[in-house]
Each structure stands twice: as structure tokens, then as C-alpha cells.
């Protein structure tokens, strides 16, 4: 910066509106940068999330299916508002459904994806979004613990409804040392998901026309 | 000039370490040091933000007046953190799944604002960025150390899940220090952070005192080493 410019700046600085203008200017510049960054990353984030979605769909559906799950959906009123259900087909027949469930965890909502076969048996559960305490509650992620696999093969009846809870509440599912609220929330959301399946079973499984 | 950078390095890593000397940034220090890997990840993300924020603050230092400097710095830091957050989410999505939880926390780290205020607003861009880098590395060192100690005592492992943060090549870092360990929950929970930090602070004091004594001793000899 040259001396002349500095002199000019000194004069500007003395003006009443100068601090406000600087703050406003910086605010404008940074919001501009954020808007640009948002646009630049929007598609990549969407693609990454779609890939994640596809992966979690595949993980909770160990069996074979032939259709594109992301396209074969039905929307039904679920436990927390409208729920998109992804359907897996074999030979045109619905063999399993996948849908999202959520419950309030220790530090915010925990969103899981669960797969249920025609008979209401759990194929798998994956937590896809949570803000639980790292090192304590995050053992619900398959990368950090085996716990999430304990749902596989379970259905309402095995264990019976009153035992569909963490051990501390008299149920069959383990809790974590130092974190009971997190697994309790996941168990609760899965139980709600199974109840939803039982209630909407006929509509979920009606084969209809494959899109 | 090189003397200046030596001082910046020594200050950031040890003498004026964010955690061990300034006792700043306690929120992430206590929150994410349940394991060495988490501490390392948080430290590295904070380092990236500090380098950029120090450089930016130094860049605008002649334009900003003292009355509005704090809001300006806060806006700059918050923007940087958001930029880091969305870029990692978009282009390093696997890393985001590990670090995503902590990145927003960096805004709340008063050490970032502290460096802007105490150093970056007074010097040129290069020393400011160097200071951000060294302070960040010192912070990373402190968080990894605290995390490592808590993890070994708390869960009997060290650097567990390192492959999620650094890639599969670093899976060798993951060690089980104590096999069949039942875990010591206190160390994983917040009190463990305070305990470990307390002992480490006391340890640093003792070490610094010893070093100072040793520095005084050779000075009495006929030919002291220049330094």
C-alpha cells in the first residue's frame, strides 16, 4: 500500500460510517464466498449423499434384488410425517422394503435406514446420520462397533414387544458403557419402524406395476 | 528474520502452546480427546483454519478499525470454517464422515480468535500464516497426546479407527495396548479430560523448571554456548 493510499485511508477511517461500512463490506464478501462455495459443492455433496444412500440401501438388503431401489418408492404417512419406502423386487414381486426411521438421541436426531423382508423380519439397520458423542455414542456406526448388527433376524415377537428395549430397560439389546440414551433411541426408532411395517404391510407389499 | 520464525515455532509448539501454556480452546480439548485419532483429526482441521484465518486477518489489518475488529474476525473465521466444512463434505466425503462432527466446533475455539487478536493483526501475512501453522501443530500435538493417554487408560487401545481418518495405509497405527481390557470409563468421559490435562500441565511446569535450571547452570562456566 503506498503512502498516498494510506493517507486517503486515514481520512476515511475518521468518518463515522467507516466501521459499519467495513463490517458490512466484509459481511458481503464472506456471504458471497459462502454462496459460491455452496453452489460449487452442492452437486458433489448430493452425489456423495446419493452414493451413501445407495450403499446403506445395499447394506440393509443382503439378499438379491433386480430393480433400482432409488426409483421404486412409495410414500406413506409414517411415525414422523411422510415416509419414503424403497422397495426391492425379485421377479416383479416385492421381497423387502427399506425405509428411514429416526428418534431423538443424546445430541440430536439419529436417522437410521432399516430393511425388512416380506415377513417382517429385520434384514439390517444402518445409522446414516447422527451427532452423538464421539467415542461414546458413535459405536452405533458399523465402522466403530458390532452393535448395529444385533438387530438382524429380529422381528416383533422375537423379542416380544416389551423386551424390544436395551438391557437397562429390561430388554435384550446391549447399551454402551457411558451411553445408554443413544442405543435406547436407536432401539426405539427400530421398534417404531417395525410397528409401521406391521400396520402398512398390505400397502407396502402390494406388487402393483413396477415403475 | 529467521530468528522470528524460530521463535514462532518454539512458541507454537511448546513455550506458548495453546493448550499447555495459554489454556485456550478447552471446549474441543475436553470434547474430542476420547481417542488419539479424534484428537489428531480435530487438531489438523483446526490447523488448516488457523493458517487461513491468520493470513486473512493479517491481510485486512490496515482496513479494519479497532471498534469492529472482533465481529470482522468472527465473521472471517466462521466463513472459513464453513468453507472447510462444505469442501470436505463434497470432495473428501469419507473423511467428512469421521471429522464432520467436529468441524463446526472450530468456530467456538477461542484460540483461533485469540491468535488473530494477539498476533496476526500486528504482523505481515507470512509470519501470521506461520504462526497459525505452528500454533495449530502445537494444538494438534496437545490433543493427540491427551487423546492417546485417555484412550490407552480408558479403552486399552491407541489410534483406533486411524484408517478412517488417514486412509487404509495408516491402519498399522491402530494398536491394542492392553488386551482383554475392560475399559476405564472415567477416562473416556469428560472428567478424564480434566484429569489428564491437569497432570500434563503439572508435568510441563516441572519440565520447564528443570530446563530453566539447566540453562542457568552452564552459564556459570567460562565459555557459555551462544544461543
| pLDDT given for residue B54 in this prediction | 96
**Angle (deg, nearest 10), helices B110-118 and B36-59:** 30
Assigned C-alpha cell, A203: 400397502
Residues A8 and A94 in one domain: no
What is the strand order of the sheet A109-117 is part of? A73-78, A81-90, A93-104, A109-117, A122-129
Residues A122 and A169 in one domain: yes
Res. A5 pLDDT band, cuts 50 70 90: low
Q: How far apart are CA A104 and CA A119, in angstroms?
A: 28
Residues A121 and A69 in one domain: yes
Residue A57 lies in a domain: no
Residues A117 and A78 in one domain: yes
| pLDDT given for residue B115 in this prediction | 93
Chain A 138-197, CB below 8 Å of chain B: which residues? 138, 143-144, 177-178
SS3 state at A143: coil
Nearest Cβ partner for B101 among A37, A52, A134: A134
Residues A84 and A170 in one domain: yes
Residues A7 and A84 in one domain: no
Q: What is the tens place of the pLDDT at every residue in A147-203?
A: 988 888 888 888 888 888 898 888 889 888 778 899 999 999 999 999 899 888 888
Q: Across-strand partners of B157?
A: B176
Assigned C-alpha cell, A63: 439378499
Q: Across-strand partners of A103?
A: A110
Q: Check CB contact under 8 Å for B34 and A30.
A: no
The C-alpha cell 493510499 sits at A5
Residue A83 lies in a domain: yes
Residue A7 lies in a domain: yes
**Chain B CB within 8 Å of residue A50 CB:** no
Q: What is the tens place of the pLDDT at every residue in A40-92?
A: 999 999 888 888 888 878 888 877 787 877 778 888 887 777 888 888 888 88
Residues A24 and A121 in one domain: no
Residue A173 lies in a domain: yes
Q: Is the peptide bond before A159 cis (omega within 30 degrees of 0)?
A: yes
Residue A54 lies in a domain: no
**Chain A CB within 8 Å of residue B63 CB:** yes
Residue A121 lies in a domain: yes
Residues A123 and A159 in one domain: yes
Residues A129 and A92 in one domain: yes
User: HSE (CB half, 13 Å, CA atoms) of A168?
Assistant: 13
State how many domains chain A has.
2
Chain B residues in contact with A27 (beta carbon < 8 A): 75
Query: Taking the domains of chain B in order of start, what are their residue ranges?
Result: 2-209
Q: What is the ipTM of this complex?
A: 0.73
Q: Check CB contact under 8 Å for A134 and B161.
A: no
Chain A residues in contact with B183 (beta carbon < 8 A): 177
Q: What is the tens place of the pLDDT at every residue in A111-160?
A: 999 999 888 888 989 888 887 876 678 788 887 788 988 888 888 888 88
Chain A residues in contact with B35 (beta carbon < 8 A): 134-135
**Chain A CB within 8 Å of residue B89 CB:** yes
| pLDDT given for residue B227 in this prediction | 46
pLDDT below 70 — which residues of chain B?
1, 218-227
Q: Are B79 and B104 in contact (CB under 8 A)?
A: no
Q: How far apart are CA A29 and CA A25, in angstroms?
A: 6
- Who contacts B213 (Cβ-Cβ below 8 Å, separation ≥6)? none
Domain with A129, as residue range(s), is 64-205
Chain A residues in contact with B78 (beta carbon < 8 A): 30
Residue A105 lies in a domain: yes
**Chain B CB within 8 Å of residue A13 CB:** yes
Interface test with A, best of B75, B165, B191 (most A CBs within 10 A): B75
Using only the alpha carbons of chain B, give its radius of gyration.
19
Sign of CA dihedral A43, A45, A48, A49: negative
Q: Are B106 and B136 in contact (CB under 8 A)?
A: no
Query: To the nearest 10°, the Cα dihedral for A29, A31, A33, A38?
Result: -170
Residue A181 lies in a domain: yes
Residues A27 and A76 in one domain: no
The C-alpha cell 522470528 sits at B4
Q: Check CB contact under 8 Å for B164 and A48.
A: no
Distance from CA of B68 to the nearest CA of A (A): 6
Residues A128 and A187 in one domain: yes
Residues A77 and A124 in one domain: yes
Q: How far apart are CA B121 and CA B17, in angstroms?
A: 19
Amino acid at each position: 500500500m503506498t503512502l498516498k493510499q494510506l493517507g486517503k485511508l486515514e481520512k476515511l477511517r475518521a468518518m463515522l460510517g467507516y466501521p459499519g461500512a467495513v463490517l458490512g463490506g466484509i459481511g458481503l464478501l464472506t456471504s458471497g464466498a459462502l454462496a459460491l462455495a455452496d453452489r460449487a459443492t452442492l452437486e458433489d455433496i448430493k452425489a456423495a449423499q446419493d452414493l451413501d444412500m445407495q450403499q446403506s440401501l445395499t447394506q440393509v438388503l443382503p439378499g438379491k434384488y433386480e430393480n433400482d431401489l432409488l426409483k421404486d418408492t412409495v410414500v406413506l404417512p409414517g411415525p414422523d410425517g411422510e415416509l419414503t419406502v424403497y422397495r426391492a423386487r425379485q421377479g416383479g414381486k416385492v421381497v423387502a422394503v427399506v425405509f428411514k426411521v429416526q428418534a431423538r438421541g443424546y445430541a440430536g436426531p439419529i436417522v437410521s435406514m432399516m430393511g425388512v423382508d416380506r415377513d417382517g423380519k429385520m434384514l439390517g439397520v444402518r445409522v446414516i446420520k447422527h451427532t452423538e458423542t464421539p467415542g461414546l455414542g458413535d459405536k452405533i456406526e458399523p465402522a466403530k462397533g458390532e452393535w448395529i448388527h444385533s438387530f438382524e433376524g429380529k422381528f416383533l415377537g422375537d423379542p416380544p414387544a416389551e423386551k424390544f428395549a436395551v438391557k437397562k430397560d429390561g430388554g435384550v439389546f446391549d447399551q454402551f458403557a457411558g451411553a445408554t440414551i443413544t442405543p435406547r433411541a436407536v432401539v426405539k426408532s427400530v421398534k417404531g419402524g417395525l410397528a409401521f411395517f406391521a400396520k402398512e404391510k398390505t400397502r407396502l407389499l402390494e406388487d402393483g406395476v413396477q415403475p | 528474520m529467521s530468528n522470528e520464525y524460530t521463535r514462532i515455532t518454539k512458541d507454537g509448539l511448546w513455550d506458548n502452546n495453546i493448550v499447555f501454556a495459554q489454556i485456550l480452546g478447552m471446549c474441543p480439548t475436553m470434547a474430542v480427546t476420547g481417542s488419539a485419532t479424534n484428537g489428531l483429526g480435530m487438531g489438523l482441521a483446526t490447523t488448516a483454519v488457523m493458517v487461513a484465518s491468520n493470513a486473512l486477518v493479517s491481510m485486512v489489518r490496515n482496513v479494519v478499525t479497532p471498534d469492529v475488529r472482533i465481529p470482522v474476525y468472527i465473521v472471517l473465521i466462521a466463513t472459513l470454517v464453513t468453507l472447510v466444512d462444505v469442501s470436505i463434505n463434497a470432495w473428501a466425503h469419507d473423511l467428512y464422515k469421521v471429522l464432520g462432527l467436529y468441524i463446526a466446533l472450530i468456530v467456538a475455539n477461542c484460540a483461533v480468535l485469540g491468535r488473530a487478536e494477539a498476533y496476526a493483526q500486528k504482523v505481515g501475512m507470512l509470519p501470521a500464516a506461520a504462526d497459525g501453522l505452528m500454533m495449530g501443530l502445537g494444538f494438534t500435538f496437545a490433543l493427540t497426546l491427551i487423546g492417546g493417554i485417555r484412550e490407552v487408560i480408558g479403552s486399552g487401545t491407541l489410534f483406533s479407527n486411524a484408517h478412517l481418518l488417514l486412509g487404509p495405509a495408516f491402519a498399522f497405527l491402530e494398536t491394542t495396548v492392553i488386551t482383554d481390557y475392560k475399559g476405564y470409563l472415567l477416562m473416556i468421559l469428560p472428567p478424564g479430560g480434566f484429569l489428564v490435562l491437569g497432570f500434563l500441565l503439572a508435568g510441563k511446569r516441572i519440565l520447564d523448571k528443570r530446563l530453566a535450571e539447566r540453562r542457568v547452570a552452564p552459564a556459570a562456566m567460562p565459555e557459555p554456548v551462544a544461543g
